[in-house]
Amino acid sequence: MRFPTAEQPGAPGPKSCIGYSLAVRRIGRADVAALLYATAVRWPTDDARPLGVISIDEPQARAIGEKSFMIDVRTAAALPITIEFFPHLGRADRGIQGAASAGLSRKIESVLEALRRRRIAIDLRGPGGR
Amino acid sequence: MLTFIIPHPTLPAPMAEGSIHAEGVPLRVDPVPLREARKRAKAEKRTLAEYVETALREKLKRAQRKPRKSRAPAIALRGPIPPGKLRKSRPAPLPGETKRQREKRDRLFHTVLDLSGVPR
């Protein structure tokens, strides 16, 4: 999907990248996807990685045809399911690269809980001027 | 079935509701609906001509109405998503998802909204 950038949080970003689909919500008869950003930024050690960033190692990433990457739970987007934000919607798989393991889902849940306990804000982007 | 044929100029014009100069029109009508129409006209204490004219008027009125716009399912939301609407949105059913899984997703979604400052 084309995640909005911090500079233009309401518009599709310049390039398509992978993300984690947290939920699909319905507003009226339209669907909106709530997503977590992925990042290719690397930290020198696991300890240096900030709270909220989950590492997807090489084997996990390879299973969905990607190189290792990080999921940044601190950055989310609520995006209308349109071709502008999801350029691969027209494909047979609708741009879905794979299903997250139960372990990853649990990890995301625990990280969200940790962020909530520490009152760490999430940057929510997408059209709507939040 | 009502079948209109060429108006007969020699027939007297019956007086029917809503018209001062009603025009006589000989009709060939299937006996079954005709019998039913006579029965109903009698029940309403009206003549058959009045009953048929009313039915005709109603049919024409319905035909003049604008057709309803079909409610085709929309899948794309255009324009901004107000935070309030996002908060009140409901989970879209995902194939194969259990009620428990859906509730869990719902909880996570609201946690994200809480942490991003979307008012409850």
CA dist B13 and B1 (Å) reads: 22
DSSP label at B68?
P
CB A34, CB A3: distance < 8 Å? no
Give the integer Cα–Cα distance in Å for A24 and A110. Answer: 20
pLDDT in tens, B53-104: 899 988 888 888 776 655 444 455 566 788 888 899 999 888 788 888 888 8
ipTM of the complex: 0.89
> Taking CB atoms and an 8 Å limit, are A80 and B76 in contact across chains?
yes
* Residue in A81, A82, A108, A124 to test binding to B, most B beta-carbons within 10 Å: A124
In order along its 130 residues, chain A shows pLDDT tens digits of 899 999 999 899 998 899 999 999 998 888 899 999 998 888 888 888 999 999 998 888 888 888 889 999 999 999 999 999 999 988 888 888 888 888 888 999 999 999 999 999 999 999 975 5
Closest-CA distance of chain A to residue B67, Å: 22
Q: What is the pLDDT, as a whole number, of residue A21?
A: 92
pLDDT, residue B115, reads 93
Record: contact A31-B92, CB cut-off 8 A: yes
Is the pLDDT score of B43 beyond 60?
Answer: yes
User: Which chain A residues are within 8 Å of B116, Cβ to Cβ?
Assistant: 76, 121-124, 130
Measured between CB atoms, does B74 come within 8 Å of chain A? yes
Q: What is the DSSP letter of B120?
A: -
* The two structure tokens encoding residue B32: 């079954």
* pLDDT score of A72: 94
Residue of chain A whose Cα is closest to the Cα of B109: A23
What is the DSSP-derived secondary structure letter of residue A127?
Answer: T
Amino acid identity for residue A18 in this structure? I
Place of tokens 């809503």: B18
Nearest alpha-carbon partner for B25 in B36, B37, B35, B13? B13
Taking an 8 Å cut-off on Cβ atoms, the answer to whether B112 and A30 are in contact is no
Strand A123-125 vs strand A69-80: parallel, antiparallel, or unpaired? parallel
Residues A48 and B42: their CA atoms lie apart, in Å, by 92
Q: Are A22 and A126 in contact (CB under 8 A)?
A: no
Alpha helical stretches, state H, B28-81: 31-43, 48-64
Tell me whether residues B77 and A27 touch, CB distance under 8 A.
yes
Contact assessment for residue A121 and residue A35, using Cβ atoms and an 8 Å cutoff = no
Decide: helix, strand or coil at residue A101.
coil
Contacts of A126 in chain B (CB under 8 A): 81
Chain B residues close to A81, C-beta within 8 Å:
75-77
